[in-house]
Amino acid sequence: MDENEDFESQQSSPAVVGFPGRLTEEQLSRNMMALHDGMNELGTRYDKHVFLAFEDPATFGAGHYVFYPLEGHASRFAVTELYAGTDWRDDERVPTSWSWESEVHVPSTDGSYPWMTIAEGEIASDDYEQLLRVTENWAKNTYQLAERAEALAMEAADRGDVGRSGPGRTFLA
């Protein structure tokens, strides 16, 4: 991927962003911080079974916020910042929207397990709360699946008297 393709892949869709200048730099920054705080809160709330990683999508390819299940690595939920008129090299950048992807590893005919996107979307800056709801749905479902798996894997309770024998003991007693 050349430098221009990388820049193009980080741009917000005009349909999502709306007219240029719709939100001020201050509003975009406020939304960015609110999303960041919300992502951290979700990472803490579901941390028994879900891990929040802060990644560099240019290096790792997933997103800026990436949730993984602690039990296995077959799925992930990635949120990537998108910018209008700039890219990740700009230190003063603020996202105008975010893209999200729910991905799973799938077996390939060559024996590898590439990521496959099963759901995706893009959300404008002023709709960041919707992105938090989508992210929480993924984290909560992943958490609940892990809780069910954990409950099914638990050993049966030991009554302590199961092997006891003696006079007056019947099958029912």
Task: Please give the pLDDT value at position 18.
Answer: 42
- 17 CB neighbour count, 10 Å cutoff: 19
Which among 99, 124, 158, 131 is positioned nearest to 18, based on CA atoms? 124
Contact assessment for residue 125 and residue 27, using Cβ atoms and an 8 Å cutoff: yes
Q: Which residues lie below 8 Å from residue 149, measured CB to CB, with a gap of 6+?
A: 71
Q: Which two tokens stand for residue 47?
A: 């941390």
User: Which has the higher per-residue pLDDT, 86 or 52?
Assistant: 52
Q: Is 18 exposed, middle or buried (0-12, 13-18, 19+ CB in 10 A)?
A: middle
**∠ Cα 65 30 34 (to 5°):** 45
Condensed to tens digits (0 to 9), the pLDDT of residues 30-77 reads 999 999 999 999 999 999 999 999 988 877 778 999 999 998 778 999
Question: What are the pLDDT digits (tens) for 158-170?
Answer: 555 555 555 665 5
**Per-residue pLDDT reduced to its tens digit, 129-147:** 999 999 999 999 999 999 9
- What is the mean predicted confidence (pLDDT) over 4-22? 45
Q: Which of 62, 60, 43 is nearest to 52 (CA)?
A: 43
Query: Whole-model pTM?
Result: 0.75
CA distances (Å), origin 119, targets 9, 20, 75, 138: 18, 28, 12, 11
Q: Which residue, among 18, 10, 48, 52, has the nearest Cα to 35 in the 3D structure?
A: 52
What average pLDDT does the structure give for the chain?
A: 81
Residue 61 is predicted with a pLDDT of 75
